[in-house]
Amino acid sequence: MSKLLIVIPAHNEEANIVQVVEELTRGYPQYDYVVVNDGSRDKTAALCRAHGYRLIDLPVNLGLAGAFQTGLRFAAENGYDCAMQMDADGQHKPEYIAPMLAALEEGNDIVIGSRFLAVKKPKTLRMLGSYIISWSIRLTTGRAICDPTSGMRMFNRAMVEEFAQNLNYGPEPDTISYLIKNGATVKEVQVEMGERLAGQSYLTFWRSVQYMVKMSISILLIQWFRKRDTETPYPERSL
């Protein structure tokens, strides 16, 4: 089995982080993990230390992209074959790690845990952004992605290195679209996601609208001007 690292970015998740990590370590001890505390102002980092969790403690808030790239840099430097993003709010269920890993080992570069591969996407205002982003990706790449906003994603070694060494590689639909356009193979695996265990998501209605607009503009326009470093060997890069 490939050596997998579960990357758990966490920002102000003191109400959830213990339950998320305990469920992972008790039920699925075969997988390594690291919590990336993204400059939290609450007790997230203190709880991780008190429980002896594997922790990267960022002194300032870098945002999801920076925290995730930190985790993938850690994976690249420590010889992991692949890495997966797992949210710290409890929505991502670890029981789907194995089928996603199996799909990755079939030769895919990226595997997405999709809520809508075998389940019809609801036609609600909340899902409007997902529909528009899916349409944008299909228009620019020819590839249909059923659940482009799913944060439950797994990456092979080549993708881990690419995320680790390039700037502006956030774990977002526009980057997935960009990588597909550059030859990355993507497969979706049907999953179910739970509700946030505690606390409130930072994605309010208006933030969701802004996110949809930002992603669509990026996919349709900005991605054509992105530059990609595929020539510099990863070991020669340094922070």
Read off the DSSP letter of residue 88: T
Reduced to 3 states, what is the DSSP secondary structure of residue 57?
strand
The yes-or-no verdict on residue 196 having pLDDT over 80 is no
What is the DSSP code string of 110-130? EEEEESSSSSPPP-SHHHHHH
The first and second tokens of residue 79, run together, are: 């010889």
Phi/psi for 229 (5° steps) reads -95, 105
Pick the more confident residue, 41 or 232: 41
Residue type, position 119, single letter: V
pLDDT at residue 203, rounded to an integer: 55
| DSSP β-ladder status, 153-156 and 82-85 | antiparallel
Give start and end residues of each alpha helix (H) in 119-193.
Answer: 125-141, 157-165, 173-181
Q: What is the mean pLDDT of the chain?
A: 89
Q: Which of 164, 159, 176, 167 is nearest to 223 (CA)?
A: 176
What is the dihedral sign for C-alpha 230, 111, 81, 70?
positive
Which range is least confidently modeled, 49-58, 172-181, 215-224?
215-224
pLDDT at residue 232, rounded to an integer: 61
pLDDT digits over 128-171, tens only? 888 899 999 999 999 999 999 999 999 999 999 999 888 778 88
Residue range 65-83: mean pLDDT, rounded: 95
Terminus-to-terminus CA distance in the chain, angstroms?
A: 30
pLDDT digits over 6-58, tens only? 999 999 999 999 999 999 999 999 999 999 999 999 999 999 999 999 999 99
pLDDT at residue 238, rounded to an integer: 46
- Report the predicted TM-score, pTM, of the whole model to 2 decimal places: 0.87
